[in-house]
Amino acid sequence: MSEKPRICNYGDSTYRQDFWEGQGRDYEDAVERRVLKSMLPARGRRLLEIGAGFGRITNEYGMFEQVVLLDFSLEQLQYARATFGDEGYLYVAADAYRMPFLPGVFDQATMIRVIHHFENVPAVLGQIRSVMADNGKFILEYANKRNLKAILRHLFGFNQWNPYTLDPVEFVELNFNFHPDYIYDQVTQLGFDVLRAVPVSWFRLGLLKRALPTQLLAAMDGVLQRSNFTLSPSVFLDLQLLGQAPSQNLSRANDALAILRCPISGAALRRDGQALVSDGGIRWAVREGVYDFRQPLE
């Protein structure tokens, strides 16, 4: 692994149109939303959506007073902002390996269809843990290396990798599958308690999705989700950070400066026109309502 991890950047790509809208993934969207809803609380203070992209599932977080969307793509976040507006939402373009938040400012975080783009999983999970309040909840979805299809392919000699080994496998550039035990070890080492593991997307086959109605497939998937057999291509983890001390930073304020900090120095920030400036003079752009922490201004 390189000293500085590679970053997957969708930039101004047509990911939304090419992968989701009208691309036959209504079933995946439906089952993911169903599991997500079952894990979210009835109400909450502040949620961080890591890898929010264009905001595909952001509308599920209406029970929170403030939702912070984080993604490396400025363009995807601008689309999300045009959809949801600014009331109760904050848009942050940043490297998830270097989050621009004060410690303990979130009582909930989600990371869905995102962690498979990270080659340094301990580093990014450590960042998430640092910004969460004690007893905070974290919903993590990961691509399962030890899924039924991979096991069968391995059995008949079609796989170039072993689904039973613990090491992550990069099957396409910056697309990783993870063994369930590997992910379990990573989150528990950081102090998360695994409340529930839900296997999802059992019927991710084009033939089935074309032949059967989405809601029927989603209902069938719901039955297998209760099996606790982590052999599906996707697994959701319902996690809680252990601890008893209330966070001093979980304030009621929705002002961005109440939770943001300079990701380089860790210093406080102040507003200066269309920029944020740290106590040490490092400047960060605010671009059309999106706080851009990817690179400081010259």
Q: Classify residue 217 by its DSSP letter.
A: H
Place of tokens 């740290």: 278
Q: What is the mean pLDDT of residues 19-43?
A: 94
Calpha distance 70→47 (Å, rounded): 11
Distance CA 151, CA 179 (A): 12
| Sequence ranges of the domains in the chain | 15-292
In order of 9, 120, 171, the CA distances from 4 in angstroms are 15, 9, 20
Task: Write down the pLDDT at residue 16.
Answer: 84
Flag whether pLDDT at 12 surpasses 80.
no
Spatial CA neighbour of 166 closest among 224, 126, 121, 203: 121
Of the listed ranges 26-30, 117-121, 125-129, 254-258, the least confidently predicted one is 254-258
Do the Cβ atoms of 37 and 110 come closer than 8 Å? no
Which amino acid, 167? D
Structure tokens at 142: 């990961």
Q: How is 164-176 classified by DSSP, letter by letter?
A: TSSS-EEEETTEE
- Check whether 277 has a pLDDT greater than 50: yes
d(CA 112, CA 93): 17
Q: What are phi and psi of 161, to 5 degrees?
A: -135, 160
- For residue 128, the tally of other CB atoms under 10 A from its CB is 24
* CA quadruple 257, 258, 261, 267: dihedral, nearest 10: 100
For 32, phi then psi, to 5°, come to -70, -40
Please state, in angstroms and rounded to a whole number, the distance separating the CA atoms of residues 116 and 168. 9
Instruction: Judge residue 173's burial from the number of C-beta atoms within 10 Å of its C-beta, 0-12 exposed, 13-18 middle, 19 or more buried.
Output: exposed
Residue length, the chain?
A: 298
Q: For residue 144, is pLDDT > 90?
A: yes
Q: What is the pLDDT of residues 47-104, one digit of tens each?
A: 999 999 999 999 999 999 999 999 999 999 999 999 999 999 999 999 999 999 999 9
Residue 200 has pLDDT above 50, yes or no: yes
Q: Would you state the pLDDT for residue 209?
A: 93
> Among 13-17, 32-36, 94-98, 137-141, whose mean pLDDT is lowest?
13-17
pLDDT tens across 216-262, in order? Answer: 999 999 999 999 899 999 999 999 998 766 666 777 667 899 999 99
> Maximum distance among all alpha carbons in the chain?
62
| pTM assigned to the model | 0.95
* Residue-level pLDDT at 3: 73
> For residue 35, is pLDDT > 70?
yes
Q: Is pLDDT of 193 > 90?
A: yes
**pLDDT exceeding 90 applies to what percent of the chain?**
86
Q: Is 116 exposed, middle or buried (0-12, 13-18, 19+ CB in 10 A)?
A: buried
Which long-range contacts (C-beta less than 8 Å, at least 24 apart) are formed by 222-227?
222/31, 222/34, 224/199, 225/31, 225/35, 225/198, 225/199, 225/200, 227/199
What does the mean pLDDT of the chain come to?
Answer: 94
**Residue 1's pLDDT band (cuts 50, 70, 90):** very low
Q: What is the mean pLDDT of residues 112-123?
A: 97
CATH among 3.40.50.150, 3.40.50.700, 2.60.40.420, 3.40.640.10 for 15-292: 3.40.50.150
